[in-house]
Amino acid sequence: MKFRAALFCVLLGWGLTLLVAGIYYLDGKQQLRSLQMTHLQGLVERTATDLDDRIRTRQQLVIRGAASLTLTPEELIRDAPNLISRFHYLKGMFSTAVLYDRNGVIVADYPHIPGRVGLSVAERGYFQRTRDTLTPQISEPFRAKTPSRRHVVVFSAPILTPDGRFAGMLAGSLELFSPEFFGELSQLAIGKQGYIVLVAQQSRRFLFHPDPAWVDHPIPSRTQAPALYRAVVENRFGVSEGALSRGEDGLAALFKLQSVNWVLGAAIPLHEAYLPLQRFTRTLLWIGLAMMLLLPLLAWLAMRKMLAPLSVLQQQLQHWQDPSTAGALNVVGSSELVEMANTLNALLAGRQAFELRLSEREAFFRALNDVSPLGVLVCDRQGEIRYHNQVAAQMLSVSGIGCNWLKNVDAAESSRLIQLMAEELTIGGLVQRRSHLSPQQGLRLLLELRLTLLDDAHCLVILLDVTQQDAEQQALAGERERALAILGSISDAVVLTNQCDEVEYLNLPAQALLGIKAGDPLGRRLCNLVDFRHPETGMLLAAYELDGLTAGTHVELDMETEDGEVRAVVLALSSVAAQGVMQGYRVYVLRDDAERRQREQEQRYQATHDALTGLLNRRALQQELSQLLEGGRLPAVTVAMLDLDYFKEVNDKGGHQAGDLMLQAVAGLLYEGLRDSDSIARMGGDEFALILRHCDEADGQQVLNQIRQRIECYRLAFAGQSFTLSASIGLTQIQSSDATPEEVLARADKACYAAKFSGRNRIATTQGELLS
């Protein structure tokens, strides 16, 4: 046994050694990988932030320079040599500063390079985008047209004319590999073989690479460099492990610059990233080998010492056969053997203690049954009592053990209970029912019985007196019936909901108003049946706003039913505050308010509109002018007065009916000629007023002239006669000095009279201009 135990320990030790060594190796590899990835990510983010700062600084210089010039294309070409000298400060941040005309031709540069003036960049994308969008641009790197053919980036900004059109472009060009831009990237060290790359997303070409042969070269395919491809093409950035641009496996961190569509990446080969792990692995292997050689000897010596007390325990157990005469075991040795001896010693004492606790527990439950408010009894299947507590004896009026408790139950129920206990009860099953006791001393008790089968011959019966509870429930049911009868006689719609907003009751008017059947909404939440909205705004009324309504308050609302129909209602909401099961219930009283609101709406319409034409009347127009004047800063608003020429002849020849038809026709022409945002009013007789919002005086003259021509060309055929007329129109602009609507209308009316006295059928402005 000692040999087997020692062999088991040796094998277990070797296995644990290999497992621990493997876990340490994997954990060290993972930690080293995380450390390298964190280092790469931090380096890339810091470098990217530095490049972004440099790019933004240069872009802001070009934008401020272009913004300082506001001139025509001809002035730009004429003054280009003088203008470019103003931007000598750009030389510190750019290789050159260049001015282009609106056709993309270089008209000046600083410092001047012979042969550059006159070159065209009209086909370059950065020029086209700057010209078309009038926004600053940063170009993709490209080879310059100069003899050096170096890679450059151009920062451009549009030069605008005084009226906001494109006059030319100011640009600063920068060599990519100048010391102040990309020159520092080649000096960044990432181990011995790590490197930095920079890629343009639009062209998918390398902007910077430690190997010059890769510069301006397309990036590798997805299969050759998946991490780089995902970052450039799919915008998936971060730190990952995989093939690099040189083809070997490694760790790569990729980050997108914020100011330009470039991707900055840093990479280090796997063999260099995991170089510290190799030294750690060799040390771990030597330690493991030494432990595996020492384990067999240590295991053999440990087993000899640990198992020596086992023979002593075997000898003492041979004398420990009879528990009544056996003495306590005494073993000195391992804690396990001592624990085993202590457990055996406790067996004898435990048996006696268990018997004592059992008797105490039985006494406890008997005392509990005696003080319980429930009646408890045990009987056979015929009802003969084997045990009962004091409460059961009082309920059933039995004298003691051996009595049959079913004799005190009503005869019909007694036979049913005998059949139930004899045939239907099962062990573990529970049957619950109510039974009446025979009247005793004028009292007729109602008991709730719970019966279960303890074994094949005995039943457990639990008794609860529910006489008072039953009486209270009957009284409550009667009150509920009276309340429902009252609610059913009310003409208003009444809905009752519980604490969870679930519908408990609704009367017939409520069913008609909500458009639902009687049983359909019961148990459903009211908010799922209807929505309450503000009549003016149409906004949904939140639950907390309903909670804020006080009892007796009537609120005008719009109610939207399940079928989408919106009805005008008046709501009165109250809550049950009294203590009890209905505390928190809500009563919604709804009255159909559609007819009253329709009546008010018609009255409001008649107060603000002309009855004959349906246009606004004088008071409504003055209210709109007052709102415009009180609004503070005014947009361009044109106000016009229109007076019909020769309208009296229509009335004289065709009568008032012809005049009314002509006024309605003119109103229709005005509607057709104006926008929905404009306002039209009949001021009285044949005089009309117009408000043209967001319309200056020139546009207003054009719109009103079209209306004048339509009126002039209109022919009214009535009673065999043909009637024509024309219009004289006066217009003005609302001015910041206008204080009242009367001032604006007076100017427009004065201009209208000027048009009429100048020959009619024309437009006059407050400046005296006439348009026939």
Q: Tell me: the pLDDT tens digits for 527-545?
A: 777 888 888 787 887 766 7
pLDDT of residue 667: 95
Instruction: Give the mean model confidence (pLDDT) for residues 226-255.
Output: 81
Asked whether 130 and 22 are in contact (CB, 8 A), the reply is no
CA distances from 181 to 177, 186, 256, 623 (A): 6, 11, 17, 65
**Same domain, yes or no: 559 and 640:** no
**Same domain, yes or no: 637 and 749:** yes
Asked whether 386 and 379 are in contact (CB, 8 A), the reply is yes
Element (H, E) at 300: helix 275-306
In a domain, 241, yes or no: no
Instruction: Give the mean model confidence (pLDDT) for residues 268-284.
Output: 76
In a domain, 728, yes or no: yes
pLDDT tens by residue, 378-389: 888 888 888 888
Give the other-Cβ count within 10 Å of 284's Cβ: 17
pLDDT of residue 3: 63
pLDDT of residue 333: 63
Instruction: Give the mean model confidence (pLDDT) for residues 748-754.
Output: 94
Domain boundary among 157, 175, 193: 175
Asked whether 383 and 406 are in contact (CB, 8 A), the reply is yes
Asked whether 221 and 213 are in contact (CB, 8 A), the reply is no
Alpha helix segments (H runs only) across 382-504 = 390-396, 411-419, 467-488
Counting Cβ atoms within 10 Å, is residue 100 exposed (0-12), middle (13-18) or buried (19+)? Answer: buried
Q: Which of 120-124, 711-715, 749-753 has the lowest mean pLDDT?
A: 120-124
**Same domain, yes or no: 736 and 705:** yes
Query: CA 619, CA 743: separation in Å to the nearest integer?
Result: 15
**Same domain, yes or no: 667 and 633:** yes
Omega prior to 111 cis, within 30 of 0: yes
In the structure, what pLDDT confidence band is assigned to residue 761 with cuts at 50, 70 and 90? Answer: very high
**Same domain, yes or no: 652 and 743:** yes
Expressed as residue numbers, the domain containing 343 is: 331-365
In a domain, 233, yes or no: no
Domain boundary among 576, 599, 622: 599
Counting Cβ atoms within 10 Å, is residue 190 exposed (0-12), middle (13-18) or buried (19+)? Answer: buried
Structure tokens at 197: 């790359």
Neighbouring residues of 658: CB distance < 8 A, sequence distance ≥ 6: 650, 651, 716, 718, 719, 721, 723
In a domain, 280, yes or no: no
**Same domain, yes or no: 741 and 641:** yes
Query: CA 174, CA 98: separation in Å to the nearest integer?
Result: 11
Q: Which of 17-26, 34-43, 565-574, 741-750 has the lowest mean pLDDT?
A: 17-26
* Per-residue pLDDT at 724 exceeds 60: yes
**Same domain, yes or no: 588 and 616:** no
Task: For 156, list phi and psi in degrees, rounded to 5.
Answer: -120, 155
In a domain, 256, yes or no: no
- Which is higher by pLDDT, 699 or 531? 699
Asked whether 484 and 463 are in contact (CB, 8 A), the reply is no
* Per-residue pLDDT at 275 exceeds 80: no
Burial 498-521 (b: 16+ CB within 10 A, else e): beeeebebbbebbbebbebeeeeb
Domain of residue 613, CATH code: 3.30.70.270
**Same domain, yes or no: 627 and 526:** no
Domain boundary among 414, 448, 465: 465
Q: Name the residue among 59, 125, 130 with its Cα closest to residue 101.
A: 130
Kindly state the DSSP code that residue 186 receives in the 8-state scheme: G
Three-state secondary structure along 607-643? HHECCCCCCECHHHHHHHHHHHHHCCCCCCEEEEEEE
In the structure, what pLDDT confidence band is assigned to residue 183 with cuts at 50, 70 and 90? Answer: low
Domain of residue 570, CATH code: 3.30.450.20
**Same domain, yes or no: 664 and 720:** yes
Instruction: Give the mean model confidence (pLDDT) for residues 642-661.
Output: 93
**Same domain, yes or no: 741 and 629:** yes
pLDDT tens by residue, 210-224: 777 777 788 888 888
* DSSP, residue by residue, 254-291: EEE-SSSSEEEEEEEEHHHHTHHHHHHHHHHHHHHHHH
pLDDT of residue 413: 80
Instruction: Give the mean model confidence (pLDDT) for residues 1-6.
Output: 63
In a domain, 208, yes or no: no
Instruction: Give the mean model confidence (pLDDT) for residues 30-55.
Output: 85
Q: What is the mean pLDDT of the chain?
A: 82
* DSSP, residue by residue, 100-150: EETTSBEEEEES--TT-TT-B-TTSHHHHHHHHH-S-EEPPPEE-SSTT--
Kindly state the DSSP code that residue 584 receives in the 8-state scheme: T
Asked whether 155 and 90 are in contact (CB, 8 A), the reply is no
Q: How is the chain split among helix, strand and coil, in percent rounded to 5?
A: 45, 25, 30
* Per-residue pLDDT at 434 exceeds 90: no
Query: CA 603, CA 175: separation in Å to the nearest integer?
Result: 77
pLDDT of residue 102: 93
Instruction: Give the mean model confidence (pLDDT) for residues 32-40.
Output: 83
pLDDT tens by residue, 290-337: 777 777 777 767 766 666 666 666 666 666 555 555 566 666 666 766
**Same domain, yes or no: 664 and 542:** no
Q: If you search the block for the tokens 């009038």, which residue do you land on?
A: 134
Query: CA 670, CA 663: separation in Å to the nearest integer?
Result: 11
pLDDT tens by residue, 500-529: 888 877 888 877 787 777 667 777 887 777
In a domain, 202, yes or no: no
Query: CA 315, CA 311: separation in Å to the nearest integer?
Result: 6
**Same domain, yes or no: 339 and 454:** no
In the structure, what pLDDT confidence band is assigned to residue 264 with cuts at 50, 70 and 90? Answer: confident
Give the number of domains in the chain.
5
In a domain, 98, yes or no: yes
